[in-house]
Amino acid sequence: MSKTSDDAGKVWPRILSIILGIIVVWGGVTLFVFPMFVSKVEKRGQWGDSFGMINALFAGLAFAGVIWAIILQKKELALQREELANTRKEIKGQKEQLEAQNQTLQKQNFDSSFFQLLGLHNDIVNSMKTSMGFYSGRQCFGELLNIGLTHAELKKGAIP
């Protein structure tokens, strides 16, 4: 819970008790005091006008309430801006981590492809056999080299 919520939680019971007190006093004056002091109808209008200052008091309290609401909104807006700045920092950190993770994934993909190709090469080499069937696998390369060298020497000797 934020600090402003705690402050508002402490203020509202006071405000409600003040409003309730004003209502009780107003009701008491209207029901008990007013009829005792003002018996004639003409004087009742003058008596009511004497409470004009209460209207000014309530207008002032309403204005103070508006000012208080603006101050609370200002505090909440400052907290919201701070939270937004923290969120931006967090997102920036996450972006950097995601880029590093992406680079690692690309390297892993390359390594996986390389070793699959290397395994395929080994499978092809191991499945090789000479036409006579004497040599298989890697031995074929040595035999093919010997055959190629022999063929080259024969060609070399045949051409003057």
- Over the stretch 48-63, which tens digit does the pLDDT of each residue have? 677 777 788 888 889 9
What are the b/e assignments for 81-90, b being 16+ CB within 10 Å? eeeeeeeeee
- Mark whether 73 and 140 lie in a shared domain: no
Model-level pTM?
Answer: 0.42
Beta bridge partners of 129: 136
64: part of which helix (H) or strand (E)?
Answer: helix 52-126
- Mark whether 115 and 134 lie in a shared domain: no
- Mark whether 101 and 122 lie in a shared domain: yes
CA distance 72 to 78: 10
HSE (CB half, 13 Å, CA atoms) of 85?
6
Residue 74 confidence (pLDDT):
95
- Rounded to the nearest integer, the mean pLDDT of the chain is 83
Confidence of residue 93 (pLDDT cuts 50, 70, 90): very high
Domain enclosing residue 158, as ranges? 128-160
